[in-house]
Structure 1
Amino acid sequence: MSAPLTAGVVGLGMIGGGVAVSLARSGRTPVVHDIRSDAAETLDGVPNPLGSPADVARDSDVIMVAVVDADQARAVVTGPEGLLSTARPGATVVLLSTVALPVVHELAAACRDADVRFLDCGVTPGDKAADHGMVAIVGGAADDVEHVRPVLADWAKQVVHCGPVGAGMATKIARNVITYGSWRTAAEAAALCSAAGVDPTTLTTVIDAADPEGSTLLQLLRMRAEGSLTPELHRQIATLMVKDLDAALSLAGELEVGLPATGVARNHVADTLGPGGEERTGDDALTETPADTPSGRRERGLAVMEEVYGPAVRESAGALDTPFTEQTVDYLFGEVWDRPGLSVRDRRLLTLGVAAATGRSDLIRIQAAGALNSADFTPGQLDEAVLHLALYVGWCNATAVHQGVAEALDDHARTSSPKEK
């Protein structure tokens, strides 16, 4: 029977320190290193730090690296006194730090060259590290994961093998998108409540009472995985999303609250839900429209125009029967406005600047109206933009800017006001 694997931890912050405590509690007391000599003083059962990562690797079969960023990870793994300077052949480096995938592959290659195994391992939630409460989100060869699973199990409540090297980090990064994206929308919701005179803590109370386990957050992903998002349910949810998000954006416009994430959600309802809105069976089956076909580019261009200017633009576009109008939709909006390098809001700002410099109040009015419709800008922000642009484009051109914005604000106020009964 082989001897139990020995463990080491480099970095004794909240996560690394918690991992070290959980390992010690399990009976697999690790050797540790931290740039702070007193880092282990408050960590139950954890010995004093050794002098360098190299010292940790010299006495460890499995080394967890929990440092702040990519530069620290590189220094710990490949630096002059790094792990690879003393690691035994067959040892395993487990990177717990969240870093970009190119860094993961860079460190994996360095370990491979040194005959050392490498696993990328996102962890969550970090504040449960000392209580054996984290999930280990692992990427790497299956044999390598199984080799160190006993060590991971000593500090993780669950070990999830996501795939080859990089898969663990990609999964952790994707999880962070859900976390921080939900924080952004929660911040917008709180701002909307405050502007409407409602204490945001009331919203928290409602959410806690309605969904104490937070299952709504992952409801869409679960429906997709289960195949329960039927065409009929897809259409029902899409209708509700449009109605509810339009109501939120309307209220935000009245209260002059910016809701950019909400605007994005409204403009990407179909993308969010994914395919499934129509049945595709028998003679009534719909034909897919690939994006790289002429009809696909046309549809994408019209969709982006809707995102930029609002739902009514498709009707107002009229017949696309000249080369200019065709290229406006297919190329300008279908390709340029849709490129990932800049957001729609960024491109709108640039376009507003150009229109201001040329004194085109008509173009300003169109862009300002689109900005209000999509909640890219509040009325107050547009008024501030007029003043800012005036100092760069000159007062004469600024008069045209002011006129265009004022007309857009008047239009928006009329269409947003409740209709008299």
Structure 2
Amino acid sequence: MIGGGVAVSLARSGRTPVVHDIRPDAADLLDGVPAPRSSPAEVARRSDVVMVAVVNAAQARDVICGEGGLLSAAHPDLTVVLLSTVDLPAVRELAAACRESGVGFLDCGVTPGDKAAEHGMVAIVGGADATVEQAMPVLRDWAKKVVHCGPSGAGMATKIARNVVTYGSWRTVAEASALVEAAGVDLGALATVIESADPEGATLLQLLHMKQDGVPESLLRQVETLMVKDLGAAQELGASLGVDTPLVDVTREGARQTLGLDDAPARPLTPLPQDRRERGVEMMKRVYGPELADRVGEPADPFTTDTVDYLFADVWSRSELSVRDRRLLTLGVAASTGRADLIQIQTAGALANGEFTPEQLHEAVLHLALYVGWCNATATYQGVTAALAAHTTAPDHSASDHTPTEKR
């Protein structure tokens, strides 16, 4: 599809392509394309720029370096352009082989392959500027757009990343389709909504443009809140319909990392149990770690019961605010009490979850001092620094030695 399409586009552009294929009849139905030559070497002898369109790295090695391959007929003006998607070690290997033979080499991912015969592909090129310039007239005769991404390997890396977007979006569509079908919605309705709301497909690249534009962190924090809330709704829908949504789970879990807000790992955010008691215990684990929930055990009095069944199961578990958001609110309230021990409990939970960096926590102390008073802020500082010290010396340290009543 790609090799034949490139040859057809070259012919339509006024060039007479010289081709080789393992099938002698490969060009029979290709307009303007002559019959294949006997070997890659014969193509190289008659050409200055040779495009290689094969399936994998082993085939590329055979065509370029093998017996009767392109390099066996190398000449000073020859440039090899690899159109196949292979891994970067293979690109470096083939580039080195060409360099040793005095031949130029470009890695050139292409997309979309089904538009090759219509001069409709994008050429995603990696290689030296001089080599790209030499091959450019030929590249432009079969590609609607040539993007020089950087030195050798850059084109292939960009093509691989492009494939991640493609296949990743397919997985997204698969989960979304399963959800609406389980809910009794026709797939055509989902397609109509998406196509009508975003006919140009801009949403798919919105995050990329946000990264390019340098969106303020304050706005990204707002996006995070909505992202976590909406994905939480998707998890709940999937749970209620019996539909597995692993991509939704991992996307919600990594929301901060997706938006570039925090490099620290987030705690898992798989769907919460439907049972109220189980939900409360699981939420307590997410807020303070598993040891605290294990220490509490089965609630034996009204206060502990409400702590698990109401505070954690019904309030902390609500998706409108993230655990990090609720942590900030709770830290603010705890700071007003002047209790360093309560601050230490909250800070330990935040550090265990990777919600804040030490710098952010110290900034929070300074900010709270202006609202709760310097005396209370001194206790806040003591609690934060104690938790930071414990976290640094014992990474597994948590608030497990405190009772849930101290939080209240």
Length-normalised TM-score, structure 1:
0.65
Q: Which runs of 5+ in 1 are unaligned?
A: 1-13, 278-290, 292-298, 321-328, 335-421
Q: Which residue of 1 aligns with 2:377?
A: none
CA–CA separation in structure 1 for the residues paired with 2:41 and 2:227: 55
SS in 1 for 2:206: helix
Residues 137, 159 of structure 1: 8 Å contact kept = yes
Asked whether 1:208 is paired with 2:195, we answer yes
Residues 64, 71 of structure 2: 8 Å contact kept = yes
Residues 122, 168 of structure 1: 8 Å contact kept = yes
Q: Which residue of 2 aligns with 1:230?
A: 216
Q: Which amino acid aligns with 2:22?
A: I
Q: Which amino acid aligns with 1:152?
A: L
Q: Which residue of 2 aligns with 1:364?
A: none
Residues 17, 33 of structure 2: 8 Å contact kept = yes
Q: Which residue of 2 aligns with 1:263?
A: 249
Residues 54, 83 of structure 1: 8 Å contact kept = yes
Asked whether 1:273 is paired with 2:245, we answer no
Length-normalised TM-score, structure 2:
0.67
RMSD: 2.6
SS in 2 for 1:31: coil
Q: Which runs of 4+ in 1 moved over 6 A?
A: 307-310
CA–CA separation in structure 2 for the residues paired with 1:267 and 1:305: 5
Q: Which amino acid aligns with 1:242?
A: V
Q: Which residue of 2 aligns with 1:251?
A: 237
Q: Which runs of 5+ in 2 are unaligned?
A: 273-281, 293-348, 355-408
Q: How high is the sequence identity, in percent, across the aligned residues?
A: 65
Q: Which residue of 2 aligns with 1:313?
A: 285
Q: Which amino acid aligns with 1:46?
A: V
CA–CA separation in structure 1 for the residues paired with 2:270 and 2:101: 52
Residue in structure 2 matching 1:120, options 107, 111, 118:
107
Q: Which amino acid aligns with 2:251?
A: A
Deviations 1:28-87 (A, max 9, x none): 111001111111111110000011111111111000000111111110000101110112
SS in 2 for 1:118: strand
Deviations 1:177-202 (A, max 9, x none): 00000000100100111111111121
CA–CA separation in structure 2 for the residues paired with 1:66 and 1:153: 17
Classify 1:240/1:223 alpha carbon distance in 2 versus 1 (closer, same or farther; 3 Å): same
CA–CA separation in structure 1 for the residues paired with 2:2 and 2:74: 23
Q: Which residue of 2 aligns with 1:96?
A: 83
Which structure: larger Rg?
2
Asked whether 1:161 is paired with 2:133, we answer no
CA–CA separation in structure 1 for the residues paired with 2:178 and 2:145: 37
Residues 285, 291 of structure 2: 8 Å contact kept = no
CA–CA separation in structure 2 for the residues paired with 1:47 and 1:144: 27
Residue in structure 2 matching 1:140, options 108, 113, 127:
127
CA–CA separation in structure 2 for the residues paired with 1:128 and 1:311: 51
CA–CA separation in structure 1 for the residues paired with 2:167 and 2:31: 32
CA–CA separation in structure 2 for the residues paired with 1:196 and 1:97: 41
Classify 1:95/1:126 alpha carbon distance in 2 versus 1 (closer, same or farther; 3 Å): same
Q: Which residue of 2 aligns with 1:358?
A: none
